A = this chain, B = another copy of it.
Amino acid sequence: MVSKLAKRPVSENIVELVERKGIGHPDSIADGIAEAVSRSLCQLYLDEVGEILHHNVDQNEVSGGQSETWFGGGKIIDLPYIILLGRAVEDATFQDRKLRLPVRSEAVKAARSYLKENFHDSKLAQESGFNIEDCIVDVRMGKGSQDLIRNYQRQARRCPPNHQICKPANDTSLGVGYAPFTDTERLTYAMERFIRNEAPKHGLDAVGKDIKVMASRYKDEIHIIIACAIISPRVSDPYEYHSIIEQLKALCMQKAHDILGYNVEISINQADDLSSDDPGDYYLTLSGLSMENGDDGSVGRGNRVNGLITPFRPMSTEAAAGKNPVTHIGKLYNVLASQIASRIANEAGEEILEVQVKLLSQIGSPIDLPAIASVELITQDDNNYHKWNGRAWDITNESLSSIEELTGQIVKGSIALF
């Protein structure tokens, strides 16, 4: 159902607030690991039994270590501890052979690989004495409820005759999406990636990968607050620290202007006490990751599937990372709702100011037949509404009918989830 959205666009609200936890934030690390584990299990299942079996591995915990840092160096007192929890089917029958699938063993390897691929840096390991591979990765995954496994295996019961897609929704659950991004959202999203990818290229190799960007807009003034772990072995004293922050700030100011065409205010590492000589008054880490020192992370407490936290937008609290990409509605519908909103917004360009998509599943019904599919539009004017009304609905239906393609894309890793 398509309807008018009876409010002004988010970008016209007086106050706006947007956050992105970078990939090195402990909550994002938890998400990243969860999704890496799920993808590796999918691959294992496909290889061994030809189809993805039931699993939900969205329950790991990143329990931060303890470090001591000073200008020029530091040491790890306690290693970060990561425990993989959740569920995965481990007994299967394939072509009359009974199989035991190495789900826990694969999970640990996938988690370690994820850390290595994203955070390993031989040079830094040598300078700091801490290697990301030193993290303790433990696993206590269970087998899953027979109930949920059963539902997973079942054909949808409420399936209309001749309906093509038979996988039933695993739960009564909601997916939401919106488009287009406001300036504040675009900037927040871009800024984390910019710092992560570009800071080192500008000689700022002391800038770590744990980057949190929070943007608030009051009327038309955007204020970007960045918290960014600085790598202690690469900063010799408070002056150098200060200089790095100033250079980073200048870079970010320029980038923001490039993106928006106007200036924003930027603050970096506000909790620092620049009058102090004490390294404890600066955001120093050995590894560029706050999880080395007391910062914990959980799946599903960071970014939503579009990469942002937007408290004033409709949001699902579902954790998507680590859920099975076959029947888990909290994963599929959030991704799909975002995609639908984006497609409509992209196609319509400036004629549509805001699209909100809501998909509500019904447990047991085929995954492409939501209980509610609502598309709400804020258009430039009524003409535009009538122009896009039907097309929006078509896009929605097309997307729903190809929902099963998401699974493959998720397994391949071509869909970002946090």
Residues of A within 8 A of B (CB): 1, 3, 6-8, 12-15, 17, 56, 59, 61, 63-66, 68, 75-79, 81, 83, 85-87, 90, 100-102, 104-105, 108-109, 134, 136-140, 142-148, 150-151, 157, 172, 174, 176, 214, 216, 218, 225, 227, 270-271, 273, 280-281, 283, 290, 293-296, 298-302, 309, 311-312, 314-317, 319, 358, 360, 362-364, 371-372, 374
Ranked 7 nearest A-B pairs via Cβ: A7-B7, A145-B294, A59-B296, A6-B8, A63-B85, A145-B293, A77-B102
B150 touches A374 (CB 8 A): no
Q: Which of B75, B87, B145, B148 contacts A102 (CB 8 A)?
A: B75
Known: A172-B214, A312-B358. 10 other contacts (CB 8 A): A66-B100, A75-B102, A79-B104, A138-B138, A140-B140, A142-B294, A147-B283, A157-B273, A270-B362, A270-B363
B13 touches A6 (CB 8 A): yes
- In the assembled complex, the Cα of A149 lies from the Cα of B273 at a distance in Å of 14
- In the assembled complex, the Cα of A68 lies from the Cα of B97 at a distance in Å of 14
B14 touches A374 (CB 8 A): yes
A392 to chain B, nearest CB (A): 15
Residues of B within 8 A of A100 (CB): 66, 68, 77
From known contacts A148-B294, A293-B146, infer whether A81 and B317 are also in contact, taking CB-CB under 8 Å.
no
From known contacts A78-B102, A174-B311, A271-B151, infer whether A301 and B317 are also in contact, taking CB-CB under 8 Å.
yes
Q: Which of B139, B150, B218, B225 contacts A281 (CB 8 A)?
A: B150
A280 touches B150 (CB 8 A): yes
Identity of the chain B residue whose Cβ is nearest the Cβ of A136 in the assembled complex: B138
Identity of the chain B residue whose Cβ is nearest the Cβ of A282 in the assembled complex: B147
- In the assembled complex, the Cα of A319 lies from the Cα of B294 at a distance in Å of 17
A324 to chain B, nearest CB (A): 13
Identical copies of this chain, number: 4
Residues of B within 8 A of A138 (CB): 81, 136, 138
- In the assembled complex, the Cα of A294 lies from the Cα of B290 at a distance in Å of 31
Q: Which of B17, B108, B134, B374 contacts A108 (CB 8 A)?
A: B134
B17 touches A294 (CB 8 A): no
Residues of B within 8 A of A157 (CB): 273
- Give the residue among A6, A137, A283, A296 with the most B Cβ atoms within 10 A: A296
A223 to chain B, nearest CB (A): 8
Identity of the chain B residue whose Cβ is nearest the Cβ of A173 in the assembled complex: B214
A247 to chain B, nearest CB (A): 22
A366 to chain B, nearest CB (A): 14
- In the assembled complex, the Cα of A299 lies from the Cα of B59 at a distance in Å of 11
23 A–B pairs (Cβ distance < 8 Å), ordered by A: A6-B7, A15-B358, A17-B174, A59-B63, A59-B296, A65-B105, A66-B145, A68-B146, A77-B90, A81-B138, A83-B83, A87-B296, A108-B134, A136-B136, A136-B137, A147-B294, A150-B281, A172-B270, A176-B311, A270-B363, A298-B298, A302-B317, A315-B315
Residues of B within 8 A of A295 (CB): 145
